[in-house]
Structure 1
Amino acid sequence: MDIELIIFAAVAFFVLYRLYSVLGTKTGAEPPPSVVREATQKRKNSEGSDESNVTPFRPSFTGPGASAMEEISQIDSTFSPSDFTRKSKKAYEMIVEAFAEGDKETLSNLLVDDVYEAYVSAIDEREQNNTEPLRLMRLKSAEIADAELLDGDIGQVSVSFEAQLSDGENLRTAKEIWTFERSLKSSNPAWLLGGVSEAS
């Protein structure tokens, strides 16, 4: 048994020695250091070139108001149609809820001055007449309908909303165009509601 162990050990040592003699030393097939450095540099230059040729991601501007939205994005690089649509839906829900609750403070932060004054007058009249407010049941859809760039820095984006509203007894469908606006040179990123009209 001891002789077998000695033989196995000798064989293992021989195999390890042969492996080391091949893998642990340089062979004639190994490129010289200068070639390795040159190849490495070429790879780095190639990677740098590829990076410089990468086109930065830009949102897709198609459909109504596409050219104006492209102009808006050139001034406000954070603007994207999909993000704007998502935020406009949130604004719609907040404004309808604030109007129903008579929350003038919230409305003052979401509407331009003349629209705010119109909403305040409507709230006051509703309360005087003890009229039940319309509440949002379901926002069915929101799509950008148009966009404009006014005076070189005033962005306007109109969104078509379809929603179901209820006065507590009756359910009605509202189809409206809401136009949001902001000064693109302002440090305030908020888009305010600047107008409401019925959708055709």
Structure 2
Amino acid sequence: MTPEIVILAMIAAFLGLRLYSVLGRRAEHEEEPIQGRFEGRQGQPGAPRVQAPPRADQRGDERARAEQPRPRTVPLAPPAVERGLAEIAQVDRRFDPAAFVEGARGAYRMILEAFWRGDKAELRSLCDDDVYEGFAQAIDARAAAGETLDNRLVRIEEVAFASAGIENGFARITLRFRSDIAAVTRDAQGQVVAGSLDDAIEAVDVWTFGRAVNSADPDWLLEETDEG
């Protein structure tokens, strides 16, 4: 065998080993499944594909969960009230009992606080004519006596449906509020003449809200007040 043939044989063998090395490693890698962007960390075949969560530390995740709004709930109601709520929802597609209760809780606080500080303008926007006139007369009488109210709504303990329905195209819903109120009346000199901010008393109010179901205005107005 001539030296030229030996050299060529050695070169061929060297190239063959290099080719096998490259192709063999590529084949081995092709047999391993590549983890997708939306697969779980295990990357097992047939595993469910889920979207990867955003990067955040554990404390950030806990804070985000805590800041999520709590689901709104609808208070339990007698069958007759449930039928009335369903009747309103059938006529007014925007009506949501849970959202209504949350809005009524806010209106209850706003109306009480507006009355206590004598804010007729805000009461005018939240009440119908009859209820507004009653509040306005009480505010005027209080002012004439030189008295002011220093009341605090401590908490709303409970909101419950009392009645609901539609009559002549007008929807009405009555709610029973049970709350704790700290009430103080002061004279013109600022001296306490009645009540105490240290002792909250339980108040039970039965309020009726109403609105025309075909009205473009989605707001409900307070149209009747009573004590429970």
2:92 is equivalent to residue 63 of structure 1: no
Q: Where in structure 2 are there 5+ consecutive unaligned residues?
A: 1-9, 28-72, 185-194
Instruction: Render the CA deviation track for 1:130-156: whole Å, top value 9, x for unaligned.
Output: 3342432222221222112111x2110
Question: CA contact under 8 A between 2:75 and 2:159: conserved in structure 1?
Answer: no
Structure with bigger helix share is 1
Aligned residue pairs, count:
158
Q: What's the counterpart of residue 94 of structure 1? A: 110
CA RMSD of superposed structures (Å): 2.8
2:153 is equivalent to residue 140 of structure 1: no
What is the alpha-carbon distance in structure 1 between the residues aligned to residue 213 and residue 115 of structure 2? 27
Q: What's the counterpart of residue 109 of structure 1? A: 125
User: TM-score, normalising length from structure 1?
Assistant: 0.70
Letter in 1 for 2:183: D
Once the two structures are superposed, the pairs formed by residues 22-33 of structure 1 within 5 Å of their partners are none
Letter in 2 for 1:198: E
User: TM-score, normalising length from structure 2?
Assistant: 0.62
Q: Where in structure 1 are there 5+ consecutive unaligned residues?
A: 18-58
Question: CA contact under 8 A between 2:165 and 2:173: conserved in structure 1?
Answer: yes
Question: CA contact under 8 A between 1:135 and 1:167: conserved in structure 2?
Answer: yes
What is the alpha-carbon distance in structure 2 between the residues aligned to residue 83 and residue 190 of structure 1? 12
Q: CA deviation at 1:111?
A: 0.2
What is the alpha-carbon distance in structure 2 between the residues aligned to residue 184 and residue 75 of structure 1? 7
Identical residues among aligned pairs (%): 31
Q: CA deviation at 1:116?
A: 0.4
Letter in 1 for 2:205: E
Q: CA deviation at 1:166?
A: 2.1
- The verdict on how the C-alpha distance between 1:13 and 1:187 changes in structure 2, with shifts beyond 3 A counting, is same
- The verdict on how the C-alpha distance between 1:5 and 1:132 changes in structure 2, with shifts beyond 3 A counting, is farther
Q: What's the counterpart of residue 197 of structure 1? A: 226
